[in-house]
Structure 1
Amino acid sequence: MHSIIGLLSVVVMSTVTLGGITFGYDDLGSGEQTLVLVHGHPFDRSMWRPQTEHFAERGFRVIAADLRGYGETTVVPGKTLLSTFAKDIATLLDHRGADRFVLGGLSMGGQIVMECHRQFPERITGLVLADTTAEAETGDGRRNRAEMAARLLREGMRPYAEEVLWKMVAEDEAAAEHVLRMMLAAPPEGAAAALLGRAERPDYLDMLGRVAVPALVVVGTEDEYTPISDARLMHDRLPDSTLVVVEGAAHMPNLERTEEFNGALHTFLDSIAARTER
């Protein structure tokens, strides 16, 4: 069985209000190494449960939060730039006393991770970039995101969610059910704001060449949104990176192929710990 969704124990959930924004987050486990995970669009932190529980039970501290506009975190209509998401993450991690950490994200979450590195690289000990792209949005892409934002506000999440579900996942029914629940629960105003902000993202390719910490790049073979070529481009630009291609997974390999994803991530975290001990 590829996925462990449905076999999860109780997850501790908390909220805190900082700077007028209420954040929903999980802060699990303990240990010298902290792993921070950033979800994609239009999901919430529950997309990382197969990872938060797995690694918390194995001696890591794992933090995953709902981004602004998603899950239990405050919805702010309008436009949410990646830089705003990154500042929110820094604010929450300051509150939780997490000074140094491995930072990982999937899809939009991966782009937010790159923005975090642009803002506070000194706090990051490793990067995990899953099913994401470092390039700036194209002109067509900006128009498409603006149109989709307007559509979400007009129609709600269900038509979009049902349309894209089998692009998000390839064939895993349990993963598909989880992804559909997250998409249907996403507030349209928050999702639209993220789309509009993401359309204005900068190009991170040049920055990748200056990353001084190890990186793990992961992609599913069936991913139509961020294909293997995007992952290879990031892998080639990063000075110290490992590329893992997950067979049979689409855009959500952490849910579709949990064992493979967790295994690659565990190997990566162990390699960072070994470097620290030298």
Structure 2
Amino acid sequence: MRRLIPLILAAALAASPAVSTTAGASSTVAPAAAEPIGIALEGWPYPFPVSYFEFQVKGQTLRQAYMDVAPAGKPNGRVALLFHGRNFPASYWDKVIRAFTADGYRVIATDQIGFGKSSKPDLPYSFDFFAANSAALLDSLGIKQVDLVGHSMGGMLAARFTRTYPERVRRLVLEAPVGLEDYRLTVPPVSDAFLYDREYALTADAYRDFLKNTYSLSVPVAEIEPFVGLRERLKASGEYPRWVTSFIKSYQMIHDQPVVHEYPLIATPTLFIMGSADHNAPGKPYTTKNLGAGMGRNADNADNAKAIAASMLNAQVVVFDGVGHLVHLERPEDFNRTALGFLDR
């Protein structure tokens, strides 16, 4: 039995002295000895009230967190569904949600199972699993069709969701999606134990450098500092080992479950929004130098995005010069104007 369980987070309880009251929108730096935070991000502020969709899978009761935000402007009768990337909770959609609701959208921004405020179960993760959960969430809210926006890992999920439920997606926006290549062809399999040890040993400085360099960010480091602080607070939790176990499942999912071969089968009008400096390619550190050199050509000379769009029935690509992997955080006004221009067309 599925049922909807609303949870309204009071602002006074959501605010934390270690971070801004709007996650990801502040340059506040978390102190080195930050207070521990639970792996469901209890106490981590989201910009809008959070509710939970509860359901059962293989005898486990799971709760999927989401924000359901009403239009702030004149309602346009449409719903936007936002899928987050691997290294961020749904709270990082703050400016996108505000722009979309001002344009008349009702916005649903969800944390997939294993991420953010959602459950971290002992279950295998797959894009089919996440897509089915998201469809069930929409069913519970009485929503039949959406405009779908997916970032990074969420772009892979958005592609799979659109392939599985084509009638439910009116238009598709893919922001800097990973999975524009089949990583199985260049990156050898790595064990869960190997990934666990790497994640467990990752320091705040190393994680900050990862976000800055792997994502080729054009924004100041201060913009990502709240998320570095969040990870440090997670490390102080007694449940951190379970969080790491959950997190590494998503890497294996990205590596083992390519969607790049499915793009030519998508007829839904699609827009790729890319940063010219984005060379993100999950697993690149685990392969040889020669193979790695050809990975992550997402929006430059050997442009994966444009080649894929050309293979699709109705797709186009917009590239922002000098921008990395976090387009909606690096160039929020340009991202929102471009995405809404495509969706409103």
TM-score bucket of the superposed structures, by smaller chain: 0.7 to 0.9
Cα distance change, pair 162–267 in 1 and its aligned pair in 2 (3 A)? same
Q: Does 1:192 align with 2:248?
A: yes
CA–CA separation in structure 2 for the residues paired with 1:65 and 1:161: 24
Residues 157-204 of structure 1: CA deviation (Å, up to 9, x unaligned): 747523412122523124322443565567322211111222211343
Give the aligned partner of residue 5 of structure 1. Answer: 25
CA–CA separation in structure 2 for the residues paired with 1:41 and 1:145: 19
1:95 pairs, out of 116, 121, 140, with 140
Q: Does 1:74 align with 2:119?
A: yes
1:136 pairs, out of 166, 179, 182, with 182
Give the aligned partner of residue 248 of structure 1. Answer: 322
Q: Does 1:106 align with 2:151?
A: yes
Larger relative contact order, structure 1 or 2 (CA cutoff 8 Å, min sep 6): 1
Q: Does 1:15 align with 2:71?
A: no
CA–CA separation in structure 2 for the residues paired with 1:230 and 1:176: 27
3-state SS of 2:277 partner: coil
Identity %: 23
Which structure's CA Rg is the greater one?
2
CA–CA separation in structure 2 for the residues paired with 1:76 and 1:185: 20
Deviation at 1:84, TM superposition (A): 1.2
Cα distance change, pair 191–221 in 1 and its aligned pair in 2 (3 A)? same
Give the aligned partner of residue 202 of structure 1. Answer: 258
CA–CA separation in structure 2 for the residues paired with 1:160 and 1:78: 29
3-state SS of 2:85 partner: coil
2:217 pairs, out of 156, 170, 179, with 170
Give TM-score scaled by structure 2 length: 0.70
- Gap regions ≥5 residues in structure 2: 1-23, 28-44, 235-242, 281-295
CA–CA separation in structure 1 for the residues paired with 2:334 and 2:272: 13
3-state SS of 2:64 partner: strand
More helix per residue: 1
Cα distance change, pair 253–137 in 1 and its aligned pair in 2 (3 A)? same
Residues 129-166 of structure 1: CA deviation (Å, up to 9, x unaligned): 11123433224435258576323554367475234121
Contact (CA 8 Å) 1:76, 1:190: kept in 2 or not?
yes
Cα distance change, pair 245–105 in 1 and its aligned pair in 2 (3 A)? same
Deviation at 1:122, TM superposition (A): 1.2
3-state SS of 1:90 partner: helix
Deviation at 1:5, TM superposition (A): 2.5
- Is the deviation greater in 208-217 or in 98-107? 208-217
Deviation at 1:94, TM superposition (A): 1.3
Give TM-score scaled by structure 1 length: 0.85
- Gap regions ≥5 residues in structure 1: 272-278
- Over the residues paired in the alignment, what is the CA RMSD in angstroms? 2.7
2:340 pairs, out of 259, 266, 270, with 266
